[in-house]
């Protein structure tokens, strides 16, 4: 199982728009991708579900563990979480 821990960089955390972008990217992989809020005792969220991502309640600066049997999926999703997904909104 591949995994990576990444810090949320989007200013308002993983709300609707960032969660939708992540879920869309995760849905393109055939392997399951899960997200877990580091330091919290919560169940992993299915990264292909925007609703489950939002339910994590992740804010800017929170750390997220990305896990999947697919290393490429981990890399892609981790890069999204580590970027400012609201930067293009004006």
Looking at 2-70, list the stretches that DSSP marks H as alpha helix, in order from N- to C-terminal side: 16-26, 50-55
Asked whether residue 26 is assigned to any structural domain, the reply reads: yes
Contact residues for 2 (Cβ-Cβ < 8 A; gap 6+): 67, 68, 69, 70, 71, 73, 74
Indicate the number of domains in the chain.
1
**First-to-last C-alpha distance (Å) of the chain:** 38
Q: What is the pLDDT of residue 20?
A: 97
Is 11 inside a domain boundary? yes
pLDDT at 70: 98
- Per-residue pLDDT tens over the stretch 2-29: 999 999 999 999 999 999 999 999 999 9
Question: What's the pTM value of the predicted model, to 2 decimals?
Answer: 0.92
The CATH number covering residue 48 comes to 3.30.1340.10
**Residue 44: how many CB atoms within 10 A of its CB?**
16
Domain hosting 68: range is 2-81
Q: Is residue 89 part of a domain?
A: no
> Would residue 87 count as lying in a domain?
no
- Structural domain includes residue 13: yes
* pLDDT for the residue 90: 44
Q: Kindly report, residue by residue over 24-79, the tens digit of the pLDDT.
A: 999 999 999 999 999 988 899 999 999 999 999 999 999 999 999 999 999 999 99
């Amino acid at each position: 199982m591949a995994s990576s821990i990444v810090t949320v960089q989007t200013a308002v955390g993983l709300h609707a728009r960032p969660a939708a972008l992540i879920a869309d990217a995760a849905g393109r992989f055939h392997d399951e991708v899960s997200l877990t809020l580091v330091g919290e005792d919560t169940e992993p969220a299915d990264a292909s579900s925007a609703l489950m991502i939002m339910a994590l309640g992740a804010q800017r600066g929170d750390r997220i563990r990305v896990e999947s049997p697919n290393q490429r999926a981990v890399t892609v999703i981790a890069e999204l979480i580590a970027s400012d997904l609201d930067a293009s909104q004006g």
